Amino acid sequence: MLLELDFPRQESTSPAPHDTSWDAYSRKVPSSVKEGCSTCSLRSACVPDGLTAHEIARFDAIVNTTRNIKRGEALYRTHDPFESIYAVRAGSFKTVVMHRDGREQVTGFHLAGEVLGLDGVCAERHSSDAIALEDSSVCIMPYSLLESMCTESKQLQRQMLRTMSSEIVRESSLMMLLGTMSAEQRVATFLLNLSSRMKARGYSAAEFNLRMTREEMGNYLGMKLETVSRMFSKFQRDGLLETRGKKIRIVDLTALAAV
């Protein structure tokens, strides 16, 4: 799920080893440049352990280009033919579906190191729109080539199955979130989920910027904007977190989890 690689003769888009800020991944990068998985700082999220040097080289060849997506632009749209899956190399995305009356429903948020596009595997067409929340870049993995390699590499096959399984878990978790939790629990669960995803990628689990708006968050959680804002104010009064614009600092992770 993925990538952040070196560019020849360009300003590095990788943060310094001590720099765990999310903003370090939001710099502009050149498009359609050949990348190398072997030098990727997020390699462990995508390339399974145990691959031979030959298999890594083959996988490297599959991930053959990157693509830049400007804030507000679509990586793909509903009903677009499914050809590739995409690993978020930098930036972030939201996935949305449209109601018949034209209303937008946010179905997920995807951060650096995560995969987009698996919704197209079943019908060979995408069932949602993927919209960049900020200037972002993705690594492109043609599905037919990836599928072919999976028949030869058990390690890669397991990685693909784990990735697809995580999407199933995410969908079922969203149903539980919307169906059984109070507004307070929904916002707390959302923040805890973001915190754990940041930590898994080497960022601070306590301080991060929300790339989505409060309105988009409310749309995803099935809540009105006013309710989301009220929950943030409550958490601040209770000493659970501090907010400054989109910047979040979780003051008491244990207490937030207890919600």
pLDDT reported for residue 62 = 79
Read out DSSP for 196-227?
Answer: HHHHHTTS-SSEEE--S-HHHHHHHHT--HHH
Query: Would you state the pLDDT for residue 75?
Result: 97
Q: Are 247 and 258 in contact (CB under 8 A)?
A: no
**Sequential pLDDT tens for the chain (259 residues):** 333 333 233 333 334 444 434 343 333 333 444 456 666 656 666 666 667 777 777 777 777 688 999 999 999 999 999 999 998 989 999 999 998 888 889 999 999 888 899 999 888 999 999 999 999 999 898 999 888 888 888 878 887 787 787 777 777 777 777 778 899 999 999 999 899 888 888 889 999 999 999 999 999 999 999 999 999 999 999 999 999 988 999 999 999 999 9
pLDDT at res. 36? 60
Close Cβ partners of 195 (under 8 Å, ≥ 6 residues apart):
205, 206, 208, 250, 253
Cα separation of 51 and 181, whole Å? 42
Distance in angstroms (rounded) separating the CA atoms of residues 168 and 186 = 19
Domains of the chain: 22-154 (2.60.120.10), 181-258 (1.10.10.10)
Specify the pLDDT at position 157.
Answer: 83
pLDDT of residue 26: 34
